[in-house]
Amino acid sequence: MHDDYQEAVVRKLQEIADELETTPHRTLREGESKKAGLKKLFSLGRKPAAPETVTPVRGLYIWGGVGRGKTHLVDLFFENQPGEQKLRLHFHRFMVLVHEELRKLGQVSDPLELVARDFAAKTRLLCLDEMHVHDITDAMLLGELFRHLFDRGVTLITTSNVAPDGLYATGLQRQRFLPAIALLQKHTEVVHVGGDMDYRLRALEQAGTYHLGGGELTDEKLKKEFHALTGIERHQGDSSLTINGRQMPAVMWDDGIAWFEFSDMCESPRSASDYIQIGEYFHTVIVSNIPVMGTLQDDAARRFVNMIDEFYDRSVNLVVSAAAEAEHLYTGKRLAFEFE
């Protein structure tokens, strides 16, 4: 099926690939190391000069509705880039790594510069999937982090459901996030993937993995699917798993396959790192009894979206039972764009 929007993105990505191939990669660390000795000799007693910066190849910010094939296009681009100085992560996972590195550094001067320096030393091409900023802590550090990464020659390819101007739209102290938006607009070309075809939803429905309804009858269908996949019956009843050091209830599980209730997955205080670990443990996940969510269930709805994104990012096979079609699972306003 031909898609003009996707074709335009492919052309842009090819242009970036060509430029990366023909442009020598010089990191800021190289420049710093060559001049470090002389700088130390001649800067005694004086304020150090501002570090030299490196201009990166301009990247791409691809935004559009859910299921428009953004992730698939970036994955193909990433897989075909030569060399090892590349990194592809879901945005949530990237931020988890950033916070982990900050914790390791402890109380040091300008820790974000040190984190960016280490990333840039190994990475020229950074691909981040599903960028969306809701956490104030992330929002406050992204501007400085992006600045240090771009100054060190890192090229960014990212996807999102919203344009850069729409990031952290209703967040606290948004004024302090605006420099991050400006940097994205400067160092990436913003491309919109329009159209109304949801490739992700179509694949899910065609695979017969989306079950409407709930209750005992649907649970019996899921139970049969679970046993058909595993060939055995075990880990039933009061079963649980250890996820990030905490116990998490499961209906059933076996090597590579797990079945959870929606209430345990999304109505409890779960983080993106929990879904990341589940996605690393299991190639197939069943989530049962997904309700219709309104404004009062925004927290659960946000966790649900994060869960879907993390599983999709890791090619986890997802089987669900839900009270409504996917596009009608959320009736509120704040997160409506996530369910479009």
Domain that holds residue 104: 4-193
- Do residues 146 and 126 touch, judged by C-beta distance below 8 A? no
Which residue among 166, 193, 220 closes a domain?
Answer: 193
* Interatomic CA distance for residues 91 and 132, integer angstroms: 8
Same domain, 73 and 152: yes
Taking Cα atoms as reference points, which of 138, 128, 148, 145 lies closest to residue 174? 138
Domain CATH number, residue 39: 3.40.50.300
From the number of C-beta atoms within 10 Å of its C-beta (0-12, 13-18, 19+), residue 82 rates as: exposed
Same domain, 211 and 188: no
Same domain, 235 and 163: no
Pairing relationship of beta strands 239-243 and 155-160 according to DSSP bridges: unpaired
Same domain, 300 and 156: no
Same domain, 274 and 157: no
- Do residues 5 and 195 touch, judged by C-beta distance below 8 A? yes
Same domain, 208 and 94: no
3-state class of 245 per DSSP?
A: coil
Which residue among 193, 220, 242 closes a domain?
Answer: 193
* Interatomic CA distance for residues 284 and 90, integer angstroms: 19
Same domain, 75 and 156: yes
* Interatomic CA distance for residues 75 and 129, integer angstroms: 9
pLDDT score recorded for residue 204: 47
* Interatomic CA distance for residues 14 and 37, integer angstroms: 40
In eight-state DSSP terms, residue 332 is: -
Same domain, 205 and 186: no
Same domain, 55 and 96: yes
Domain count, the chain: 2
pLDDT score recorded for residue 85: 93
First to last CA, the chain: 21
Same domain, 214 and 285: yes
Tens place of pLDDT per residue across the chain (340 aa)? 567 888 999 999 999 999 999 987 766 554 454 444 444 444 444 444 445 667 899 999 999 876 677 888 898 999 999 988 999 988 877 988 999 899 999 888 899 999 999 999 999 999 998 898 888 889 999 999 999 999 999 999 999 989 999 999 888 999 999 999 999 999 999 999 887 666 655 544 554 588 887 777 788 888 887 877 765 555 444 478 888 878 889 998 876 788 999 999 999 989 888 999 898 888 889 999 999 999 899 999 999 989 998 888 888 888 899 999 888 888 888 877 676 6
Q: Which residues contact 173 (CB under 8 A, 6 or more apart)?
A: 136, 139, 140
Which residue among 178, 193, 208 closes a domain?
Answer: 193
pLDDT score recorded for residue 9: 93
Same domain, 186 and 322: no
Same domain, 17 and 143: yes
Alpha carbon 277 to chain centroid, angstroms: 14
pLDDT score recorded for residue 200: 54
